[in-house]
Structure 1
Amino acid sequence: MPLKWMPLKWNEAPQLPRADGRIEAIDLARGIAIGLMIVSHSVSGLVGIRNVPDWGMVPIHFLTKFSSSLFILVFGVALAVAFLSHVYREDWPKRRLKLWLRAVEVWFWYKALLIIEMLPFYTPSEIVDALLYGRFGIWVEILGFYAIALLWVPLILPLWARAPLWSRLAVIVGLTSLTAWLQGLSFGGNDILKALLVDHEDHYAWGQISRAPLVLLGLLLGEALLRCSSDPALKRRLTLTLLGLGALMVGGFYASALVGGDVYAAMLAVANNEGKHPPGLAFMLFSLGGALVLFALALAGGTKAAKALMPLTIVGSDALKAFIFHIVMIFLVLRFLWQGEGMYTYPQALGVGGLLILGAALWIWGTRWMAKHR
């Protein structure tokens, strides 16, 4: 029986066909996540959240909260598509080394961009303290998460590739429960360690354990995507399932807000990042639910949507380069060299965010064109 028709069984380990080239829907979904992130960073970096008008917080800044969950979710999807099917093949050691070298590259840029972020407002000793993990920044800490995640993910992929479905689901549930339990511990007063592992309310770091369920969920989605990529009917079923699940989660957020008695206050709390670090139930219902909806829409749009939204697709095809570009432009050029913090209105900051998305796409395309024609 062809692989694409095989029913999914609870005791079945992943069985993945090889991806036939890049899947543009993944690039588009990642590009949407980065685009929302760039808009959010443009506003928070140039205007400041406290100076955003109410109509900007809800709905605009509110909707950017899909970004973080979508970014991490697509990270897991891309790992499944590019690496999971290779863990028991001869080329796995080379691919594993590629992931570890990527971790070093991401870690380097994390530290370099951390300096750029902190330049205007921190002393050299405070910057050195951050470089040595004595404190954290804000806007570049997601790179710190990826740098560490790329160290442990290659170690668990071989185990994940032979684990039955029920155990993979149990791991996701177990890690989520473990995160909730660890949040109640003091970690011996070591707030930095707690932030690195499970988030801390006084730091903007992304906890490895608390965000691992999103990565692993992405692995499951990547497996599902590969299984149905050559079958339009199965792909539609997957898309509708993700749309329904995402809508149900967003609906759960609004239902809890109605129970609380003030829907707008709940939306404003999410827009102000309440429940983001550490992850709270209301925030994650909205953020992850929206991420699943956006990912489903990217799958439904497929190649046509990827071409129609080409700047976002290009940005999503090289996330690290896009991230470097927008941080350098916002914090080094606009905020530090041009001393632009507080000089922009909220609509102007939104415009800057849009231009930076286009600029990042042009930068990626241009560097590829130059490399190709050397």
Structure 2
Amino acid sequence: MPLNWKEVPQLPKAEGRIEAIDLARGLAIGLMIISHAVSGLVGIRNVPDWGMVPVHFLTKFSSSLFILVFGIALAVAFLSHTQSDDWPKRRLKLWLRAVEVWFWYKALLVIEMLPFYPPSDIVDALLYGRFAIWVEILGFYAIALLWVPLVLPLWARAPLWSRLATIGVLIALTVWLQSLTFGGNDILKALLVDHEDHYTWGQISRAPMILVGLLIGEALLRCYFEPATRRRLVLILLGLGALMVAGFYGLAFASGDVHAAMLAVANNVGKHPPGLAFMLFSLGGALVLLAFALAGGAKAAKALMPLTIVGSNALMAFIFHIVMIFLVLRFLWEGEGMYTYPQALGVGGLLILGAAGWIWVTRWMARHR
């Protein structure tokens, strides 16, 4: 079928829950939990070389996959309803979710900073005078959930060419804004387009990934329940992801030191603000993982059930692992620096299982009340 550049989204309703989306999100969260367990309990500076590459090199797929799936889930659950009479209720649901995420962002910020920062620094972070590290992704989602519901109805009416052009314009805008000083207001710059001194996520700089996720979500609704078309979508995502990863290695070979380039990515060089090499590897790997999750479908989701359960309630999984790492292990048990690197990896694995178990138990309790 030829590509129609003037086509607007024509979305069928999903035939039940698409468990592959939960699996993809669970893969992202699982990689994030492993990364946070190690950085929170051991510290990146204490990770052995064999741990940085490949382990922490591969965990860089997490953030891009998480944001992509955010966009995909929005398309699947909300985009087709933007022209219906119940859209105001659904929009309000997203805004209330933003308030919930923002509350937990601030609560977990206190938990993260509590062991090692004085109260004045914590209050400063609560008032957006500075940023934490590990919980900042929640702050990004809380703000994104405020503007995304305003964009979705426009996106649903826009022709394909304008949706693609919007993504390109936002990328160009990010590059231009990165060159500005924002009058010395580093906090504002960090919130909009990232800042090298703050480990937070810019709304404009990350918006293109959300919008790409919307495009993938639209394609997914059309293709997922038809095996032949789903295979084509999987191959397209796999090919694009492999091409981007190959682009990263092309840059690495050109630099003359491939291992150094890989180590730089493992150390988050190019993550804040987003750099070309980091994004090629992170987004490319995210597309590959997404393709495998979609290819596996319900069978893979069942085989990897703990990850699927974790992905089905990302907020609860996030809360669980931050509380366990920073409140229980670091603060109450004074465990920072007490774990070897392999032990921290083991803790990360147990936290994935623990988060899945906690989500399952709370659902079981809710059903039997």
The TM-score, its normalising length taken from structure 2, stands at 0.99
Match of residue 36, structure 1, among 31, 43, 49: 31
Q: For residue 61 of structure 1, what is the amino acid of its counterpart?
A: H
Which of residues 152, 156, 172 is equivalent to 2:151?
156
- Among residues 186, 193, 197, which one is paired with 1:191 in the alignment? 186
State the Cα distance separating 1:62 from its structure 2 match. 0.4
Other-structure match for 1:287? 282
The match for 1:64 is 59
Inter-partner Cα distance in structure 1 for 2:50 and 2:275: 24
Alignment of 1:3-18 (within 5 A): 8-18=3-13
In the TM superposition, what is the alpha-carbon distance from 1:97 to its structure 2 partner? 0.3
In structure 2, distance between residues paired with 1:244 and 1:93: 38
Match of 2:203 in 1: 208
Letter in 2 for 1:225: L
Q: 333, 341, 344: which one pairs with 1:346? A: 341
2:42 to 35, 44, 47: 47
Counterpart in 2 of 1:363?
358
Code of the residue aligned with 1:245 in structure 2: it is: L
Distance in structure 1 (CA, Å) of the matches to 2:225 and 2:204: 34
Q: In the TM superposition, what whole-angstrom CA distance separates every residue of 1:118-160 from its partner, at most 9, and x where no partner exists?
A: 0011110110000000000000000000000000000000000
Tell me which residue corresponds to 2:101.
106
Alignment of 1:1-374 (within 5 A): 8-374=3-369
Query: How far does residue 8 in structure 1 lie from its aligned partner after superposition?
Result: 4.1
State the 4+ residue runs in structure 1 displaced beyond 3 angstroms.
none
Equivalent residue number for residue 3 of structure 1:
none
Deviation at 1:229, TM superposition (A): 1.9
How far apart, in 1, do the equivalents of 2:328 and 2:341 lie? 18
Distance 1:293 1:188 in 2: 40
1:271-308 CA-partner distances (Å, limit 9, x unpaired): 00000000000000000000000000000000000000
Counterpart Cα distance in 2 of 1:110 and 1:93: 25
Question: Residue deviations 1:191-230, cap 9 Å, x none?
Answer: 0000000000000110000000000000000000001122
C-alpha separation in 1, matches of 2:127 and 2:72: 31
Where do 5+ consecutive residues of structure 2 fail to align? none
Distance 2:192 2:4 in 1: 32
1:318-342, Cα deviation, whole Å (9 max, x unpaired) = 0000000000000000000000000
Q: For residue 27 of structure 2, what is the amino acid of its counterpart?
A: I
2: distance between equivalents of 1:319 and 1:184? Answer: 34
Question: Quick check: 96-105 or 12-21, which moved more?
Answer: 12-21
Measure, in 2, the Cα distance between the counterparts of 1:121 and 1:196. 24
Name the Cα RMSD after superposition: 0.6
Between the aligned partners of 1:47 and 1:236, the Cα distance in structure 2 is: 41
1:16 match: secondary structure: coil
State how far apart, in whole Å, the 2-side matches of 1:251 and 1:368 are: 42
Matched residue type, 2:339? Y
Q: Distance in 2 between matches of 1:7 and 1:248?
A: 23
Shift of 1:7: 5.3
Q: Whole-Å Cα distance in 2 between the matches of residues 60 and 177 of structure 1?
A: 32
Task: Give the Cα–Cα distance (whole angstroms) in 2 for the partners of residues 7 and 21 of structure 1.
Answer: 29
Counterpart of 1:12, as a letter, is: E
Rounded to whole Å, the distance in 1 between the matches of 2:147 and 2:172 is 20
